[in-house]
Amino acid sequence: MVIIKSINMKHFIPAIVVILFLTSCKQKQETQQIITTPKTPKNIILLIGDGTGLSQVSASQYFNPNPSNFDRFPVVGLIKTSATDKLITDSAAGATAFASGVKSYNGAIGMDKDTISVPTIVEEIAGRGIKSGVIATSSINHATPASFYAHAKSRGMYDEIAAFLPTSNIDFFAGGGLKFFNQREDGRNLLTELEQNGFQVDTTALPKNASTLKHAILLAETAMPTILEGRGDFLPNATQLAIDALSTNENGFFLMIEGSQIDWGGHANNADYLISELIDFDKTIGVALDFAKTNGETLVLVTADHETGGFTLGPDGDDYNKIKPSFSTKSHSATMIPVFAYGPNAEDFGGIYENNEIYHKMKSAISKEESTVVSQN
């Protein structure tokens, strides 16, 4: 006899085959075998390397003094990234596809192609007690992070986008963009509003330890400095702090971390800028993977909104032993983008699919009902 029972998974059940030998209280002995499907993740960490295509990832093999953390992923897929109005996407439409599951027009923040607001994964999971965080090396109201907590017709509406944060479902944020909080056209002081809404606000340095309050961390007027200008370990350290702060939540967390300036190195056709930002992003991936490895119930995803610069790793002249990075455009390109996955449900992210499927796969992973097959002999 086979009984298929569905259990709504609130917490993690190990993906093992459990064999229970049940002794019937009556006359007959029965052997009962319970097979659980692979465990579901309690936490999701999504790392977005803005403008990071396969050549950028490959640069982490050739120019990184350390072993690349990209090598640690067991599953790789590819996404198609076009927007609704353009073959080549921008970061706003790209992030809106990840955050809300809809393809939209270039410039859209949390809105569909008809400028109707669409719920973000952060808003949807907050109702289940799951906490969220966003981290970027751009200003925190720039297109990529904004698409996870705000709704605006245009990515350039920076003051409007920042004003979502005091009352959004974000529990932790770190990046630049201070001036959009305390030097605003409308005269509002969002730092005060953040404190009134339960945030600890830091504007000079990352706090040493996670607080029991929510965290608002704004360490630059606009974008954070570049690595070449001495940003140091802001991104990996902010990631560790966010994990420390959010992982105490018993219902789990969602954390989006953006290596924002890989894209800017591509736009500038500046290989040193691009590669230094990329290596910082690679190091940050290591922080997420180290946590996921010991935690066991965290899905880690790394992908990008699009490629930037038409970056190429060609030879230096005729010297096939020397790579000379070059670029084919100052803009974004249409190449497919790799997706790297580690942890429970990682296997869902293999194959070739559209960028907005990332949202649906994440939602499915974190909402999946654990089905348990009980077979009795």
Q: How far apart are CA 345 and CA 209, in angstroms?
A: 31
- Residue 182 tokens, joined: 């305390």
What is the C-alpha to C-alpha distance for residues 187 and 255, in angstroms, rounded to an integer? 31
Q: Which stretch binds Mg ion (CB under 5 A): 20-28, 46-54, 148-156, 290-298?
A: 46-54
Q: Does residue number 91 form part of the binding site for Mg ion (CB under 5 A)?
A: yes
- Residue 277, interface with Zn ion (CB under 5 A)? no
Asked if 50 is part of the footprint of Mg ion (rule: CB under 5 A), the reply reads yes
H or E element in which residue 325 lies = strand 319-326
Is the CA virtual torsion 94, 107, 227, 56 positive or negative?
A: positive
Q: Could you give the angle at which helices 54-62 and 271-295 cross, rounded to 10 degrees? A: 90
Q: Tell which one of 96, 144, 261, 333 touches Mg ion (CB under 5 A).
A: 144
d(CA 318, CA 305): 33
If binding is defined by CB under 5 A, does position 263 make contact with Zn ion? yes
Is 61 strand, coil or helix?
helix
- Determine the size of the site formed for Mg ion (CB under 5 A): 4
Q: Does 124 bind Zn ion (CB under 5 A)?
A: no
User: Is 91 one of the annotated active-site residues of the chain?
Assistant: yes
Question: According to the binding rule CB under 5 A, does residue 370 interact with Zn ion?
Answer: no
Nearer to Zn ion, 280 or 370 (CB): 280
Residues 225-264 that bind Mg ion (CB under 5 A): 260
List the one residue out of 105, 211, 185 whose CA is nearest residue 152.
Answer: 105
Binding site partner of 260, from Mg ion, Zn ion, none, Cβ cut-off 5-8 A by kind: Mg ion
CB 90 to Mg ion: min, Å: 9
Q: Which is nearer to Zn ion, 123 or 263 (CB)?
A: 263
Return the one option of Mg ion, Zn ion, none that residue 144 interacts with (CB less than 5 to 8 A, by type). Mg ion
Our finding on whether 307 is near Mg ion (CB under 5 A) is: no
Q: What stretches of 327-369 show up as alpha helix (H) in DSSP?
A: 357-367
List of residues contacting Zn ion (CB under 5 A): 263
| Residues that are catalytic | 91
